Chain A
Amino acid sequence: MRRRNLEELFFKFLMVLATLIVGGSFFLIVGTIFYKGAPYMTFDMLTKIPGGGFYIGKEGGILNAIIGSMYVAGGATILGLIISIPVAIYINMYMDGQKFLANTLRMVFDVLFGIPSIVYGAFGFLIMVYFGLRASLLGGIIAVTLLVIPILVRTLDEVIRTVPLELRDAALSLGSTRWETAKVVLRAIRPGIITAILISFGRAIGDVAAVLFTAGFSDNIPTSLHEPAATLPLAIFFQLGSPIEEVQGRGYASALILTIVVLIITILSELLVKKFYKHKS
């Protein structure tokens, strides 16, 4: 009897320990980034592009990368939405009699979601070579769009499935076509669409392997789709690779900026999801 209770106690202790490690790792990561990045945070980091000699520790900031990342992530999310909304609607509203096929399609998107961004990057690079494009904002947007399509489709799909069937039936029974019904459904899931946008944007802004080949890097803010664009994760990566302490420090500060941006986006989307589901049930 004592042995059994001891075993119980021992494993309970292990479980609490594991929970603390898993839950604590988030604070450990964010804490480390804050601790190392905060001392190097300056206003210039956010508002200036790299000046001459920035990479040996002189004047400048990473505005180029911040704007570049916004362009890439924003462009990819918009392009992704244009493709994903029709797909999500098609799967949910036009495939009534084909449940098996619809579920297979869902699985395909799950699988696409699991494909690593480096493969999307390599594939995006192939497309660019095929069309004779050079590393540019456009190339980056294309590769990241491929990356976010599965995320957007699956998120929108989940959201559309929460719409009560009665709503669709009511619209249909009033004589509206399926497309008109789809518009009704789209209106009902507006907060869900915003959540999907946030999730996709958060993923797009933090990804590096997809833009590595495709977006290039530049110290200037791109003014057209064909210019190379710097991105925040790549800027962090490059600065960290420098042997100069000042530049490394700025890399930590850049990491802090990215962490804060992504955390805000994630928290917003979590809150929206919660609100959306509360509203539904």
Chain B
Amino acid sequence: MLLFTVLSVSLVFIIGIGLYYKSIPVLQNSTWWHLLTSSVWKPLKGLFGFYPYIMGTLWVTGIAIIIALPLCVLTSLYIVEYAHSRVRRILMPFVNLLSGIPPVIFGVWGVLFIIPLIQDHIAPHFVEFSTGYSVLAGGIVLAVMIFPLIVSIINEVLRTMPQELKDASLALGATKWETVKKVILRKALPGIIAATVLAISRAFGETIAVLMVCGNNAVVPHSVFDAGYPLPALIANNYGDMMSIPLYDSALMFAALLLFIIILLFNIISRIILTRLERRISA
């Protein structure tokens, strides 16, 4: 039992060390800084610049958070503060079901629904031509994927808000919305931040759904209607060639290492905030 426990916990370190070990060749060839800021991607010449991929990831994740966060905060506020508890009992099972849907299905939905929507109805208002395969499509699909995560965490946080606090504000003559705005949201802020950080790290690593809708063009996107090429998609798309070109496998493992480090940090930060919150409330 102790053995299994130690082994499975040390998985974190083993993954990190394994990926780092494999990235050494590409790191010897070039520096961290250069790998992260160069946009030249010529595997045959041994040049690997991750900048466009990092920007692709940031764009898609940013759009997803901008869409999902306000919607999820409003939804959670409605469910917890305003609506009859029946609404929660009806809605939450569907949110849970949504979280169970596999990424590839989100991808198929993106191709069938979001892409035509952007191509025919949204993009024509802003740009001359768009195929629909864009960072916006990736962002929307990702936003829907992280709905359940954010809603369930913020729900938990809001439900732990002390009733006295709300009563005090209402007794002073504040309207319900003023209470929400000035008391509840302020008090719940750490929880909302933790949820956001966790959602960002989920969005960062999401592979297949984003890959299917965001065009996979290795340039830095300049508008939401441009195609992007996020890091996970880069790994997934090129695993076939990576053994035949020298350093290529090392570069892809470096991409995986990068994802791993960022997500590890984000996860640890949000977990620490959430644990603190839990402790403060139970104390």
Residues of A within 8 A of B (CB): 4-5, 7-8, 11-12, 14-19, 21-23, 25-30, 32-33, 36, 83-84, 86-87, 89-91, 94, 103, 105, 107-112, 114-120, 122-123, 125-127, 146, 149, 153, 202, 205-209, 212-213, 233, 236-237, 240, 251-252, 255, 258-259, 262-263, 265-267, 270
Q: Which residues of B contact A33 (CB under 8 A)?
A: 105, 108-109, 112
B162 close to A (CB within 8 Å): no
Residues of B within 8 A of A (CB): 1-2, 4-5, 7-9, 11-12, 15, 18-19, 22, 70-72, 74-75, 77-79, 82-83, 87, 91, 93-98, 100-109, 111-113, 144, 147, 151, 175-178, 180, 198, 201-202, 204-208, 212, 232, 235-236, 239, 252-253, 256, 259-260, 263-264, 266-268, 271, 275
Q: Which residues of B contact A109 (CB under 8 A)?
A: 8-9
Q: Which of B11, B19, B75 contacts A122 (CB 8 A)?
A: B19
B208 pairs with A209, CB closer than 8 A:
yes
Q: Which of B71, B72, B104, B268 contacts A111 (CB 8 A)?
A: B268
Measured CB to CB, the closest approach of chain B to A12, in angstroms, equals 7
Measured CB to CB, the closest approach of chain A to B17, in angstroms, equals 10
Most chain A CB neighbours (cut-off 10 Å) among B107, B112, B268, B275: B112
A interface secondary structure, majority = helix
A29 pairs with B144, CB closer than 8 A:
yes
A52 to B30, CA, bound (A): 47
A65 to B148, CA, bound (A): 28
Which chain A residue shows the least CB distance to B232? A118
B108 pairs with A255, CB closer than 8 A:
yes
Q: Which residues of A contact B9 (CB under 8 A)?
A: 105, 108-109
Q: Which of A28, A83, A206 contacts B113 (CB 8 A)?
A: A28
Q: Which residues of A contact B107 (CB under 8 A)?
A: 237, 240
B205 pairs with A118, CB closer than 8 A:
yes
Known: A22-B71, A114-B202. A153 touches B8 (CB 8 A): yes
Measured CB to CB, the closest approach of chain A to B102, in angstroms, equals 2
Q: Which of A36, A86, A103 contacts B4 (CB 8 A)?
A: A86
Q: Which residues of A contact B206 (CB under 8 A)?
A: 116
B212 pairs with A240, CB closer than 8 A:
yes
Known: A5-B175, A22-B95, A119-B205. A233 touches B263 (CB 8 A): no
Q: Which residues of A contact B176 (CB under 8 A)?
A: 8
B178 pairs with A122, CB closer than 8 A:
no
A209 to B205, CA, bound (A): 10
A213 pairs with B239, CB closer than 8 A:
yes
A280 to B119, CA, bound (A): 52
A169 to B235, CA, bound (A): 51
B144 pairs with A19, CB closer than 8 A:
no
A205 pairs with B268, CB closer than 8 A:
no
Known: A21-B71, A118-B232. A111 touches B101 (CB 8 A): no
Q: Which residues of A contact B175 (CB under 8 A)?
A: 4-5, 7-8
Known: A29-B144, A207-B102. A118 touches B4 (CB 8 A): no
Measured CB to CB, the closest approach of chain B to A242, in angstroms, equals 12
